[in-house]
Amino acid sequence: MLLEGKSAVIYGGGGAVGGAVARAFAAQGARVYLAGRTLASLETVAGGIRSAGGTAHTSRVDALDEKAVDDHADFVAADAGSLDVYFNLISHGDVQGTPLAEMSLEDFERPVVTAVRTMFLTSRAAARHMIRQGSGVILMFGGYGDPLPRLGGLQVAFGALESLRRSLACELGPHGIRVVTLQTGGIPEVLPETFAGREAITAGIVGRTMLGRAATLADVGNVAAFAASEHARTITASAINITCGSVVD
Ligand SMILES: NC(=O)c1ccc[n+]([C@@H]2O[C@H](COP(=O)([O-])OP(=O)(O)OC[C@H]3O[C@@H](n4cnc5c(N)ncnc54)[C@H](OP(=O)(O)O)[C@@H]3O)[C@@H](O)[C@H]2O)c1
């Protein structure tokens, strides 16, 4: 298994993408630590992992709270003996569907401030332990492709995270720590079946790809497990393009 003996922290582990990544990591042998603000959703994911024979721990942690994030990293490092993989997959409160010219400052800046703050906090907490170990992998999700209309501050937030990814990779590489983004072009599977715009958005995502299909949650989990593993030991300071060809590198 790709992640046998590794510990992996997943912030937003009760969410759609975080849950899929947690399941994939656990299936590859990692001991997963799910963090989020709502224990019930974390426990649902953890329960599924345990039923499948994996090991999952849940913690109520606000990923914007500096002390809570540091304390959680300390707990995981002590509990697992090392802190090997860290993936922050929380939502950022972005508002989509409104043109920038009509958007309030509050709605625009929320995802930018949230994304940068939480990624800095969780990456810093992880890095302090990983530097001591001389190893570790920090993963990010989103990436930065060509602009699309009506995504509000979301792409600006992802652009800022890409800048942070480059700086972290540069500073942490000499300590044996890799920093990698999974660049997504959208995952139609997460759209609620009852959502009126589901079909049109799915058609838009698929229509922009070269492969004529979009990434599934299972696809994201599989690539994340690879990126976190020793099979990807040469990959850092980079984005792995999982857009099925909607973004051309
Ligand atoms: N789905 C896609 O197609 C797609 C595409 C591109 C990018 N993304 C990005 O991927 C990330 C995850 O997306 P998703 O679809 O999985 O979202 P989701 O299902 O809404 O899950 C997000 C999770 O983050 C948790 N969370 C939010 N704020 C938090 C905080 N301050 N502290 C701790 N946990 C927090 C939420 O749980 P609690 O509220 O209980 O804490 C929730 O479980 C988002 O940043 C999204 O922008 C998704």
Expressed as residue numbers, the domain containing 190 is: 7-241
Q: Are strands 238-241 and 177-183 parallel, antiparallel or unpaired?
A: parallel
Let me know if residue 25 belongs to a domain: yes
pLDDT, tens digit, for every residue of 204-227? 999 999 999 999 999 999 999 999
Which of these, 94, 85, 136, lies nearest to 115 by C-alpha position?
94
Let me know if residue 83 belongs to a domain: yes
Domains in the chain, number: 1
The enclosing domain of 27 has a CATH number of 3.40.50.720
Let me know if residue 247 belongs to a domain: no
Q: Could you tell me how many residues make up the chain?
A: 249
Residues touching ligand 1 (Cβ under 6 Å) are 11-12, 14-18, 36-38, 41, 62-64, 89-92, 141-142, 184, 186-187, 190
pLDDT of residue 245: 97
pLDDT, tens digit, for every residue of 178-201? 999 999 999 999 999 999 889 999
pLDDT, tens digit, for every residue of 98-110? 999 999 999 999 9
Phi then psi dihedrals of residue 142, to 5 deg: 135, -70
Let me know if residue 202 belongs to a domain: yes
Question: What average pLDDT does range 8-23 have in this prediction?
Answer: 98
Let me know if residue 2 belongs to a domain: no
Q: Return the residue whose CA atom lies nearest to atom 34 of ligand 1.
A: 36
Question: What average pLDDT does range 154-173 have in this prediction?
Answer: 98
pLDDT, tens digit, for every residue of 45-92? 999 999 999 999 999 999 999 999 999 999 999 999 999 999 999 999
Ligand 1 center to 147 CA (angstroms): 21
State the residue for tokens 């992802």. Answer: 158
Let me know if residue 1 belongs to a domain: no
Would you say 218 and 20 are in contact if contact means Cβ atoms under 8 Å apart?
A: yes
pLDDT of residue 111: 98
Beta bridge partners of 11: 35, 88
Which pairs with CB-CB distance under 8 Å and at least 24 residues apart come from 98-107? 98/150, 98/152, 99/149, 99/150, 100/152, 103/152, 103/153, 107/152, 107/153
DSSP 8-class letter at 190: G
pLDDT, tens digit, for every residue of 143-159? 988 899 999 999 999 99
Let me know if residue 246 belongs to a domain: no
Let me know if residue 135 belongs to a domain: yes
pLDDT of residue 145: 86
pLDDT of residue 172: 98
pLDDT, tens digit, for every residue of 110-135? 999 999 999 999 999 999 999 999 99
Ligand 1 center to 89 CA (angstroms): 6
Q: DSSP letters along 97-166, please? A: SS-GGG--HHHHHHHHHHHHHHHHHHHHHHHHHHHHHT-EEEEEEE---S--TT-TTHHHHHHHHHHHHH
